[in-house]
């Protein structure tokens, strides 16, 4: 199936204000059969202590019903043309897991797809973004932990916690952009590839145990400080061999990004199936 399983909407405060139907129309024009709408849900008050950044991170709690209504309306509009799945990209909220469960409970009857992602780690002054800016990573994570190796270990520790947190969810579920820690790889000290491989190999049996699939996220190909997908091809093959579901994700934040990276994914999957 030609499926884009990770996308955003006008409810994303750090994306485009263009309506969801424009994303869906783009996906349909590209021949996609299924399109998962997985917007960032609300965050707890004061989650990030940054008055400039906080409003850009996610929708307000009051907007969640409007988002779900919009996703359902566009789903009906494209019925018979494009199978739209209503979903969310849940953040793993270390120490605030009950907030996640409250949001899921509110949205439960509408959800089909849920991604769980790690965007935040404890750092200088509280929780900090992994993927905001290289300078922010340097000042608030790297300087806090002292080395890229330590930050990387904390990141994958949280990824493991995120996978465990999703184990009991009843919807289709996937781990988002497993190697997001590499977003700024050309702008920060390097991470040892052997270290990443070791942590990914350790993660694989947990994905199997918890029944969590993998978001094969191509957004890193579009990032000038990354230049590669957020999932290595060798890991796609390893996951497929263990029965972990692989789902392409453009991580589109603008309509023209819907489906972006599919050609890379097709070629990578040919190698996986070989």
Per-residue pLDDT of the chain (274 residues; tens, 9 = 90+): 999 999 999 999 999 999 999 999 999 999 999 999 999 999 999 999 999 999 999 999 999 999 999 999 999 999 999 999 999 999 999 999 999 999 999 999 999 999 999 999 999 999 999 999 999 999 999 999 999 999 999 999 999 999 999 999 999 999 999 999 999 999 999 999 999 999 999 999 999 999 999 999 999 999 999 999 999 999 999 999 999 999 999 999 999 999 999 999 999 999 999 8
Tokens of 33: 């059969």
What backbone phi and psi angles, to 5 degrees, belong to 52?
-85, -45
Alpha helix ranges (H) inside the chain? 20-29, 54-57, 64-77, 97-107, 134-137, 143-145, 148-166, 193-210, 233-241, 262-273
Q: What is the number of alpha carbons within 13 Å of residue 266 lying toward its C-beta?
A: 9
Edge-to-edge strand order for the sheet containing 213-217? Answer: 3-4, 34-39, 83-91, 113-117, 172-175, 213-217, 246-249
Taking the CA atoms of 81, 243, 230 and 121 in sequence, report the sign of the dihedral they define. Answer: positive
Q: Which residues contact 152 (CB under 8 A, 6 or more apart)?
A: 181, 191, 195, 196, 199
Q: What is the pTM of this model?
A: 0.97
Q: Which domains does the chain have, with CATH numbers?
A: 3-273 (3.20.20.140)
Dihedral sign of CA atoms 53, 225, 120, 230 in order: positive
φ/ψ (deg, to 5) at 247: -130, 120
């Amino acid at each position: 199936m030609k499926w884009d399983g990770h996308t955003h909407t006008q409810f994303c405060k750090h994306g485009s204000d263009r309506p969801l139907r424009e994303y869906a129309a783009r996906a349909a024009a590209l021949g996609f059969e299924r399109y998962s709408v997985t917007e960032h849900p609300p965050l707890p008050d004061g989650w990030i202590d940054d008055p400039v950044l906080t409003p850009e991170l996610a929708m307000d709690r009051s907007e969640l019903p409007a988002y779900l209504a919009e996703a359902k309306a566009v789903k009906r509009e494209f019925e018979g043309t494009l199978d739209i799945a209503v979903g969310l990209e849940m953040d793993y909220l270390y120490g605030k897991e009950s907030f996640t469960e409250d949001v899921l409970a509110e949205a439960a009857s509408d959800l089909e797809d849920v991604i769980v992602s790690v965007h935040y780690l404890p750092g200088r002054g509280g929780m900090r973004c992994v993927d905001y800016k290289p300078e922010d990573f340097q000042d608030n994570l790297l300087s806090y932990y002292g080395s890229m190796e330590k930050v990387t270990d904390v990141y994958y520790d949280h990824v493991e916690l995120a996978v465990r947190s999703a184990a009991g969810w009843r919807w289709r579920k996937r781990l988002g952009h497993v190697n997001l820690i590499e977003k700024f790889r050309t702008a920060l000290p390097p991470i040892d590839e052997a270290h990443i491989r070791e942590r990914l190999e350790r993660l694989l049996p947990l994905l199997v145990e918890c029944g969590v699939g993998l978001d094969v996220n191509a957004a890193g190909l579009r990032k000038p400080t990354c230049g590669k997908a957020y999932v290595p091809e060798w890991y796609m093959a390893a996951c497929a061999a263990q029965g972990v579901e692989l789902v392409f994700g453009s991580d589109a934040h603008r309509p023209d990004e819907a489906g972006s990276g599919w050609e890379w994914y097709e070629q990578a999957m040919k190698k996986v199936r070989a």
